[in-house]
Amino acid sequence: MTAPARLSPGDPAPEFSLPTDTGETLSLADLRGRTVILYAYPAAMTPGCTKQACDFRDSLASLRSAGYEVVGISPDKPEKLAKFRERDAITFPLVADTDRAVLTAYGAYGEKQSYGRTVTGVIRSTFVIDPDGKIERALYNVKATGHVAKLRRDLGLD
C-alpha cells in the first residue's frame, strides 16, 4: 500500500452517510450550510483519542457559537462508539467507518509511521469543510494532545 491521496483546500469533501454512536445515520449532506470539523482518529477509548475527543467536547460550545459543527470518524463499530460517548460524555456525533472507505477517501487511512515502523492504519487528521461542502483545511498527522487548541488558534477563535 502506498501513501493515500491527500485532500487540499478547495477540493470537494467526499460525501458520506455512516452509522453513528446513537444508531442513527449521519450524512455530510445533512450538515450542508454549516461549517464542519471532521476529525479522524484511530480508535475510541484509547488514551490519545480520548484526550482529543474530550478537548473537542470541552470546546464544543464555543466552536458551535462560532458556527462550527464537530463530527468524529473512526473505524470503530457503532456499539463501541456508544460506549465511548457514554463513558466520556461526548456531546457531538461519532460516525463509524468500519470498512474505512470514507477514511480512505479523505486520505486519512493508509501507510503511516508508528514508533519507527511503517504500518497501515488511520492517520489522525482534521478537515474543516465549508458550508458548500468544500475542503477549507486538511490537516494530516495531527497530534492528539494540543490539536484542538492549535486548531482554535488557526481558525482565529483564540
Answer yes or no: 49 catalytic: yes
Pick among 3.30.70.120, 3.30.1600.10, 3.40.30.10, 3.40.50.150: CATH of 11-153: 3.40.30.10
Residue 47: band (very low, low, confident or very high) from pLDDT cuts 50, 70, 90: confident
Q: Domain residues of the chain, as ranges? A: 11-153
Helix axes 47-65, 147-154, angle to 10 degrees: 30
Region of 77 on the Ramachandran plot (φ > 0 left; ψ -120 to 50 alpha; else beta): beta
Q: Give yes or no for residue 71 having a pLDDT over 90.
A: yes
Q: Give yes or no for residue 59 having a pLDDT over 90.
A: yes
Q: Give this prediction's pTM.
A: 0.94
Per-residue pLDDT of 3-36, as tens digits, reads 568 999 999 999 999 999 999 999 999 999 999 9
Q: Report the pLDDT averaged over residues 66-74.
A: 97
CA distance 98 to 152: 29
CA distance 150 to 144: 11
Q: Point out the catalytic residue in the list 36, 37, 40, 49.
A: 49
